[in-house]
Amino acid sequence: MAIADSTTLGQLSTGRRFKNGTATALVYSAFGVALIPLVWLSFTVITKGYKRFFLDANGEHNFNLDFLQQSMRGVVGGSPTGGILHAIWGTLLITAATAIISVPIGIMTAVYLVEYGRGRLKRAVTFFVDVMTGIPSIVAGLFAYALASIIIGPGTKTGFTGAVALSVLMIPVVVRASEEMLRLVPNELREAAYALGVPKWLTVTKVVLRTAIAGLATGVTLAISRVIGETAPLLVAVGFADSMNFNLFEGRMMTLPVYIVSEWKKGPAVCNDPTAVCVPEITEYRAWAAALVLILIVMTLNLVARLISRAFAPKAGR
Amino acid sequence: MSKRIDVNNLNVFYGGFLAVEDVSLAIEPKSVTAFIGPSGCGKSTFLRTLNRMHEVIPNARVEGEVLMDGVDLYGQGIDPVAVRRHVGMVFQRPNPFPTMTISENVLAGYRLSNKRVGKEEAAELVEASLQGANLWEEVKDRLDKPGSSLSGGQQQRLCIARAIAIRPDVLLMDEPCSALDPISTLAIEDLIQELKENYTIVIVTHNMQQAARVADRTAFFNIAGTGKPGRLIEMNDTRTMFSTPSEKATEDYISGRFG
């Protein structure tokens, strides 16, 4: 009997060696290409974002954290002062409100779809979640703005309106991620609980959700990272502000993405008062520094999610 | 503890499909009853109707009666959750809860149902149940380790401990040894012999030697062909079943001529 491949045992044929080499090269170069934007973006944001932190109120080159401790209240022209404290608070408050609205609704919807849903209603819910995933963010903003105008009064812009807009974007993401996680819980565990005479609702809360909690935490954090950088809906529904505002239900609020836009739009500062300290590029410095802070916040969130999922993950060790 | 079960003219349906047809049999208390038969003959499906676990599958339904000491499990006003507290179940693959420790797994029937158990009572319950499942000596020093850290055979005995911790009257076992090695299988078979002092045990098995070793009575199920319902062919004392079965099909199956 003729053997097609006559290489000795344990040796790769030239053809397979070539294929292996090609595939390895492809995989590594794809990885490299995927890394380029990430590295480039990080490099740009860091090199441009650090400058504001090395500019004190006198326009001297000194490290300071004014930028994180001040709002933009009373900051005019090219004055090298003014910061993002109001925008950090706005972003954190609005995102927290969004999470408080979206996480329960999203997870409960996912529980319905995985554990209870049947037939037409289940298909309808799945369909509408799909549709919601595709809503452009500006439309969500307009929706929330219109809703607030109808309910509260024309032209109402509050932090809460923004949270409603972001919830429209966040809920479908939470539903999708949680649904996947709940489906990963083995059916055997549900059966084990039923066979012990545990009612369904307790099986869902104490076995299914408890087993999936690590994945749920990761999904929720990813959903938060997704909405924390949203600009358009907040521009429409929350507007701008230069001062601190801790009240989600009254008045406009600043958020980090909107802050970046508003500083960028100002363009170079005009310096025509020779007695005042003036840095023409200050608006650009502020925008990049705010972008750097936003990225750091998202990174911290992802780290927290990892810690949470590690703490809750089923322990497999012996 | 330990009750008898009488099944009268039971049909099991999946939607419009008749899976098991017209089964009538009696299961004696404090004995081991084995169900044998080829794959797909409905013995596991039938087993699940004895504690209404088949209701977990959408569209599954039952006609007929299952009487436990004269009470119909499918009677009006009977809560399936309460039925399962009286009729425990052990599955084919060991399924301890991965988020719980060994002792939490034993207490799962209480903790998951929000029943309060005092600290001392809990400790006694854990020890008694694990001893009942012949696992105490192996795990007593690591009760706070995850249940998934045990070997497959130990996990299965942990599941048995978990099932007997809620003190059921009847214990159903759905091929409890098919995922285990021979030594663990032997441990479980010895355990079944001890458990029948206190419980009514029903075991589904693919392994005829196992049925011959552990069961007092054996029921043979068969299926006429794909798409046809499973039926109870005959049921008798295990010794009679394996020496002088009255049906040709039983003899063929036991002697290995098919299945």
- Run of H or E including B26: strand B17-27
The β-bridge relationship of strands B87-90 and B170-174 is: parallel
**From the CA of B135, how many Å to the nearest CA of chain A?**
17
The domain segmentation of chain B, as residue ranges, is 5-254
- Contact call for residues A164 and A99 (beta carbons, < 8 A): no
Q: Indicate if the pLDDT at residue B138 is higher than 80.
A: yes
Q: Collect all residues of chain B within an 8 Å Cβ-Cβ radius of residue A188.
A: 91, 93, 95
- For A18-62, how does the pLDDT look when each residue is reduced to its tens digit (9 = 90+)? 999 999 999 999 999 999 999 999 999 999 999 999 998 888 888
- For A186-211, how does the pLDDT look when each residue is reduced to its tens digit (9 = 90+)? 999 999 999 999 999 999 999 999 99
Local structure of B66: helix, strand or coil: strand
Please indicate whether, in this complex, the C-beta atoms of B95 and A118 are within 8 angstroms of each other: no
Percent of chain A at pLDDT exceeding 70: 96
User: Which of A188, A189, A197 is opposite residue B81, by nearest beta carbon?
Assistant: A197
ipTM for this prediction:
0.90
- Run of H or E including A282: helix A282-312
User: Which of B51, B82, B98 is opposite residue A314, by nearest beta carbon?
Assistant: B98
- Contact call for residues B88 and B171 (beta carbons, < 8 A): yes
Q: Indicate if the pLDDT at residue A4 is higher than 70.
A: no
- The confidence band for B129, taking pLDDT boundaries of 50, 70 and 90, is very high
CATH classification (class only), B5-254: alpha beta
What's the pLDDT at A318?
Answer: 40
Cross-strand partners of B202: B33, B172
Q: Indicate if the pLDDT at residue B258 is higher than 80.
A: no
- The confidence band for A315, taking pLDDT boundaries of 50, 70 and 90, is low
Q: Give the side-chain half-sphere CA count within 13 A for A101.
A: 18
Q: In sequence order, which ranges of A196-281 are alpha helices (DSSP H)?
A: 200-202, 209-228, 232-237, 256-266
- For A170-189, how does the pLDDT look when each residue is reduced to its tens digit (9 = 90+)? 999 999 999 999 999 999 99
All domains of chain A, ordered by start, with CATH?
85-277+295-312 (1.10.3720.10)
- Identity of residue A59: G
Q: Over the range A262-272, which residues count as b (16 or more CB within 10 Å of their CB) and which as e?
A: bbeeeeebeee
Please indicate whether, in this complex, the C-beta atoms of A207 and B112 are within 8 angstroms of each other: yes
Please indicate whether, in this complex, the C-beta atoms of B112 and A203 are within 8 angstroms of each other: yes
For chain B, state the CA radius of gyration.
Answer: 18
CA triple A172-A173-A178, angle to 5 deg:
100
Phi and psi (nearest 5°) for B20?
-135, 130
Q: How does the average pLDDT of chain B come out, rounded?
A: 90
Cross-strand partners of B65: B8
Q: Which residue of B has its CA nearest to A214?
A: B99
The β-bridge relationship of strands B200-204 and B170-174 is: parallel
Q: Indicate if the pLDDT at residue B236 is higher than 50.
A: yes
What's the pLDDT at A277?
Answer: 85
Q: Indicate if the pLDDT at residue B85 is higher than 50.
A: yes
Measured CA to CA, the distance from residue B41 to residue B101 in angstroms comes to: 37
Measured CA to CA, the distance from residue A14 to residue A18 in angstroms comes to: 6
Task: Classify burial at A149, counting beta carbons within 10 Å of its beta carbon; exposed 0-12, middle 13-18, buried 19 or more.
Answer: middle
Q: Collect all residues of chain B within an 8 Å Cβ-Cβ radius of residue A314.
A: 98-99, 146, 148
User: Which of B88, B112, B148 is opposite residue A193, by nearest beta carbon?
Assistant: B112
Measured CA to CA, the distance from residue B216 to residue B214 in angstroms comes to: 7
C-alpha distances in Å from residue B227, one per residue of A41, A63, B10, B33: 62, 80, 18, 27
- The confidence band for A317, taking pLDDT boundaries of 50, 70 and 90, is very low
User: Which of A192, A197, A315 is opposite residue B166, by nearest beta carbon?
Assistant: A197
Q: Collect all residues of chain B within an 8 Å Cβ-Cβ radius of residue A317.
A: 146, 149
Local structure of B75: helix, strand or coil: coil
Please indicate whether, in this complex, the C-beta atoms of B166 and A196 are within 8 angstroms of each other: yes
- Contact call for residues B218 and B238 (beta carbons, < 8 A): yes
Mean pLDDT in residue range B249-257 = 83
Q: Indicate if the pLDDT at residue B254 is higher than 70.
A: yes
**Virtual torsion, Cα A184, A186, A190, A192, nearest 10 deg:** -160
Q: In sequence order, which ranges of A62-84 are alpha helices (DSSP H)?
A: 66-69
- The confidence band for B179, taking pLDDT boundaries of 50, 70 and 90, is confident
Q: Which residue of A has its CA nearest to B51?
A: A195
Q: Over the range B99-127, which residues count as b (16 or more CB within 10 Å of their CB) and which as e?
A: bbbbbbbbbbbbbbbeeebeeeebeebbe
Please indicate whether, in this complex, the C-beta atoms of A188 and B91 are within 8 angstroms of each other: yes
Tokens of A113: 């779809």
Mean pLDDT in residue range B28-46 = 90
Measured CA to CA, the distance from residue A311 to residue A315 in angstroms comes to: 9
- Contact call for residues A162 and A94 (beta carbons, < 8 A): yes
Q: Indicate if the pLDDT at residue A1 is higher than 60.
A: no
Identify residues of B whose CB sits under 8 angstroms from chain A CBs. 51, 53, 56, 58, 81-85, 88-89, 91, 93, 95-99, 108-109, 111-114, 145-146, 148-149, 159, 162-163, 166
Identify residues of A whose CB sits under 8 angstroms from chain B CBs. 118, 186, 188-199, 202-203, 206-207, 210-211, 314-318
Q: Collect all residues of chain A within an 8 Å Cβ-Cβ radius of residue B149.
A: 315-318
Optimal mutation site among B55, B81, B151, interface A, most CBs of chain A within 10 A? B81
Please indicate whether, in this complex, the C-beta atoms of B114 and A202 are within 8 angstroms of each other: yes
User: Which of B53, B99, B111 is opposite residue A191, by nearest beta carbon?
Assistant: B53
- For B8-35, how does the pLDDT look when each residue is reduced to its tens digit (9 = 90+)? 999 999 988 899 999 999 999 999 999 9
- Report the predicted TM-score, pTM, of the whole model to 2 decimal places: 0.85
Q: Collect all residues of chain B within an 8 Å Cβ-Cβ radius of residue A197.
A: 81-85, 109, 113, 166
What's the pLDDT at B180?
Answer: 83
Look at residues B223, B217, B11 and name the one whose alpha carbon lies nearest to residue B233: B223
Measured CA to CA, the distance from residue B189 to residue B180 in angstroms comes to: 12
Please indicate whether, in this complex, the C-beta atoms of B88 and A191 are within 8 angstroms of each other: no
Look at residues A115, A111, A199, A213 and name the one whose alpha carbon lies nearest to residue B109: A199
User: Which of A196, A211, A318 is opposite residue B109, by nearest beta carbon?
Assistant: A196
Q: In sequence order, which ranges of chain B are alpha helices (DSSP H)?
A: 43-49, 80-86, 102-106, 108-111, 119-132, 136-139, 152-165, 182-195, 208-214, 238-243, 248-254
User: Which of A196, A197, A211 is opposite residue B99, by nearest beta carbon?
Assistant: A211
Mean pLDDT in residue range B113-122 = 90
